[in-house]
Structure 1
Amino acid sequence: MSEQLGFFAASSPEPEGLRYAAEFVSLDTERELIARVAALPLQPFQFGQYEGKRRVASFGFRYDYGLRRLQDADPIPHWLSPIIGQVEAFGGPPTHIAQVLCTEYDTGVGIGWHRDKPHFGRVFGLSLGSACKFRFRRPAGEKWQRFTLDAAPRSLYMMSGPSREAWEHSIPAVEQPRYSITFRTMAEPKR
């Protein structure tokens, strides 16, 4: 059986532009961040007239699905500054984080297939509390090419280039409560 799984893994290479760092933050930092996110005035995710099961708080900007545009949001909290510095260093020059989304996933909650809005550039995600399967897919003829990243607690991923623009991503229902902090740059103006 493991030989078959190895065969399938080899046929689905990692999406170009996807980077991953395990143990990006310490266990103590993870605990502190979870406490900070849990203390935020999290609201159910609004997708137009629909309400998602995950709870979120946006900073810097938020996307309004009713108006189909970015809106200003509360300023990014100062307690995120040290982590933003680490994320920007991971992204390299000239990474500048302009938007942050804090998310709480209760047991049994996930997120469906999507791409982040084109207003944003590179996307960084910090996984907290429990692991998740971070799934990718893109059309390949009449089928889908797929890739799954096992995002461990305290890890960071970065999506840029094709992993951000050509691939969709999703998270199946989590088995334990999970938190994430998503950091986004703004998209470069089209020339």
Structure 2
Amino acid sequence: MDKSPIVLGSKPVIGISACCMACPVRYNGRGFDMLRHIGREKGDFTWVPVCPECLAGLGIMRDPVHIAGENGAAIWRGEASMRSRGGRDVTAQMLAGARAAQDCLERSGVRAFIYMDGSPSCGVYRTTLRKQSRGHPPGVFGALLDQQGLFLIPALDLQSPLKWWDWRRRLLAFLWLAEVPIATRAELYDVWY
């Protein structure tokens, strides 16, 4: 096996929930600047912000949505739905918005995604807000992210320098190993050590 060093040749492309990049796209017209927590390291990456709810055509300001049923994966199977606070069924729109966001990420070459946990659309491990039990994770877009095999990072972990350091280390290892053809355990050992 070639022992020359493996170097990432370009900036890693990371998708991010648009509301976490200070885009005012949440239902209430607000956004969070989660990237301010990582400071100058923000420039080490190319960012692709997406909002499946906006791409669904729900607009800003809008009623918040929730999962009516099991979870986002069940929505894709047709066993659950997404409803607005007013009770309007927005399932078809949300599925279209999630597909549009996924297409954008694929066209951009995204291999990692920073998601907003607690969101009924982007949440991966939590889809409840303020102790309201409305569905279980993942959200409708979170289910797609999980299926794609992307490296997933919860946005709230960017607030902790230690957690961000750990995520960044694992992200770079994930991207680095993806550049190497590995077919056997011995090849993995050779690459890693």
Q: Which has more radius of gyration?
A: 2
Higher share of residues assigned strand: 1
Same fold (TM over 0.5): no
Higher relative contact order (CA closer than 8 Å, sequence separation 6+): 1
The TM-score with structure 1 as length reference comes to 0.25
The TM-score with structure 2 as length reference comes to 0.25
